[in-house]
Structure 1
Amino acid sequence: MTVEMPYQNQSQPQNQTLISSGQNDDDEKILLVDDNPTNLQVLLQTLNGRGYKLLIAKDGENALRIAHKAKPALILLDIMMPGIDGYEVCRRLKADPEMSSITVIFLSALDDTQDKVRGLETGAVDYIAKPFQAEEVIARVETQLKIHQLEQALAARNRQLEAANQRLLETMREGIFGVDAEGRITFANPAASRMTGWDLEELTGGDFYGMFLERNPEGIHAPRQNTPLYRTLVDGVIQNVDDSVFCRQNESFFPVDYSCTPITEGGKNNGAVVVFRDITEKKRQQEILQQALDEVDEQKDKLTHMSRLSSMGEMASGFAHEVNQPLTAINNYAQVCKRMVAREPMDVESIKEAMGKIATQAQRAGDIISRIRSFVKKPDHCLERVDCNRLIQDVVKLAEVDARNNQIEIHIDLEEGLAPVRVDPVQIQQVALNLMRNAMEAMRDTATRDIGIRVETLKVNDDFVQVRVIDRGHGLADDAEEKMFTPFYTTKQDGMGIGLSVCHSIIQTHGGVLNFERNPEGGAILWFTVPVA
């Protein structure tokens, strides 16, 4: 049993609590812990009469028990003790929320740096080496107690400020109702009165269900047992309700978020607290934000479309040449047919053959025009289940115009058996075409142009398919990692810097990734992923 008694100058202090003479209950408590009675006597003599209430313990177990009961401000703690040592005592103190704020100074003859570091790591704030020097003990104790007092005062002030701020927020922004087990209003704050239009006197005693809760278009209240408040009152569970409505005194409605928290006494639900917030302004801002987002999406669609039109404009001369070739052939075959029809006897088989060639060339011209029209039209953003390899093959046919102009071949390596992907085909074609054209432009004036570019498809995992465009051109700029997909960043002399930025946005919208690698053989590898259907 620990006994409290006035301090006496004893040669063999017992394992008990001692109170220094002439002090009152407001004095700072200091617990002295050491298994050596001589050391305890030295500490007592050093600190006695300085306005401290001194407590002692001769081992770790008693130190923890006394600390838990007395809550001293400071503990001077020996390290080497029987039973649990000082390190373990400090660790347990800091692990207990009720004692974690107690300041600990270690006492030890151990002079090794690692021992000191270990002591500080367990939560001690200082270290006094044995044998003690009275001036050092007094100075360190006074310093740490002053720090402890300042910390306690600061924590108390912070708690006061937090409480004041919380009260202010609740008063100004949130309405509060207290209701009893029957749903009758027992109290309301001024904010609740202001937002609902009812006087505080009128609110008290009113039926919360009938006065405020949402009604159907016919003005009839929902059954009480279906309301969040009823579930709180009956089941004792907190209910949070977003985007509901309350009724004002003038029968108009206003949007609210509200919560119902049970009031429990003796295990019984005696009522609830309803806290609500008028979200009229919040909803207005949400509508404004949504309008802005819709406008951004619309402008993004226009930019994406303009990017496709720009690509087609840059490739126009090549497409004109592509279409002109089958048209010229059609004209030539038509002239041949005309001459053969005029001959006697008429060579029907030759005419049929020429007509077949006319049809083939017409189909060729039609396919070219169809691909162009499909690419430049403004899509309706319909995600479709498509064959990724077929999609890339169609893009390669579009890109072959630039390939012939730049005298660069396009090699394709498409993995067989790929699962269908779910994409907007026109937008994914736009991305793939942009990467192919960039790759060809990067190789146009290089010695590696004869190697050509390579387009690959491959399975990444069960969720994504990857498309890779590989070139052996002049490579990427040094700052590509930071700026590659930034709008208006370009290394081209006449480029606008929106192509890759638009592509990046398209792939992100599809839930995939657009990225690049530096080709170990020279050049670059740009790739993107699209989700499996």
Structure 2
Amino acid sequence: MAGDVADSILIVDDVPENIQLLSEMLKEEGFAVRQAVSGSMALMAVQANLPDLILLDINMPEMDGYEVCRRLKDCEATRDIPIIFLSALDAVAAKVKSFDLGAVDYVSKPFSQAEIVSRIRTQLAIAQLNQQLVSQNQVLETALQYLKENQAEIIQQEKMAALENLIAGVAHEINNPVSFISVNLSHAQDYFQTLKQAIQQYRAATPTAIPDPEAEEIDFALDDLPSLMSSMQVGAERIGTIVQALKTFSHHGEAGVKAIDLHQTLDSLLILLKPRLRPSHQRPEIRVDCHYGSLSPVACEAKLIGQVFLDLLENAIDSIDALWESPIPDDDARVIPCITLQTQQLNPDQVQITIADTGCGIPDEIQHRVYEPFFSTKPVGAKGLGLATSYRIVTDIHHGTLTFSSAVSAGTEFVVTLPVTQAGFA
């Protein structure tokens, strides 16, 4: 026997003497034997308990062996059971038909005990090897999928780490001179007021000392310089806002789980993505509507959650661009490009973030592939729709959910739910 448990053989033959002979023969060899005297009884016996192998006679009344074989092969649960035909028919056509139906062997009657036992053992060994091969293939497929997912995540993490380091470095280098400019602008405004008063006093004391053309230029400078310095102050503050957004996004030097304000994270990303929201040759400016609810601070890996929101927002922009770049007979059919952000506290333990766009939508035939590693709707080398890493960050790392609904030319809505706290984090 191939193992400690006896292999089960089902003998199907309408001649009782043949069944009796084969049963005694196979029991002597250590097989567990069951019997069926018709095709219908054979099908019921197989459904009740799957045998390891079937010895099947061809010529039987009501339902012949060919029909029994066909029905077994049509059923997913029984199609892999090896079938050996036993028949007095020795014609080539009968053998060819048997193999076409899926039989693994054909034994002509009369046969010797040694021959039939040898053929049975051979087919059982092949069946066992096939099962092992299927099992190993499943293990390899699982391992390959795991490697794909982890490779995608590692690549993305390396990209994000490099980007975070670059952003942190740039923010630091910009912050110092901007702070210097901002601080000194206030002093410059004070100095200007002092100089302006001195000039006014000088002109009052000596009205004719400065010719009229020069006096007009001085008046223009005195009137324009405050607004000029005010614009410079606004510009410095704007740069400071961008620098702060860069710092918020990079979370440089921070690691592990911490409680963050998700609204602050979303706002910083919108500041960084503002250049992509501006009008282009194909479309008007993308409007962003924020409907923020009152959210509790959320304990999470701040860098990773920021990465998720960045991916979703960039995909929303890409989707809108794709819609406006595609030819549409009536441009008025396009709605104003818009991204809508909505947050709400679902309950004390869970928050929800919704990011919806008015873009091209996701076709039905690829929606099931959105979270596949390396899947992309973009050309090679471009950042595509694939959100495998984002999905793993939300579901596996943060025990939340990431779902979406979409329709072609009607936009897409992604919904992220996150627990307020993470296990082991107080």
TM-score (normalised: structure 2): 0.46
TM-score (normalised: structure 1): 0.39
Greater share of strand: 1
Larger Rg: 1
- Structure with the larger RCO, 1 or 2 (CA within 8 Å, 6+ apart): 2
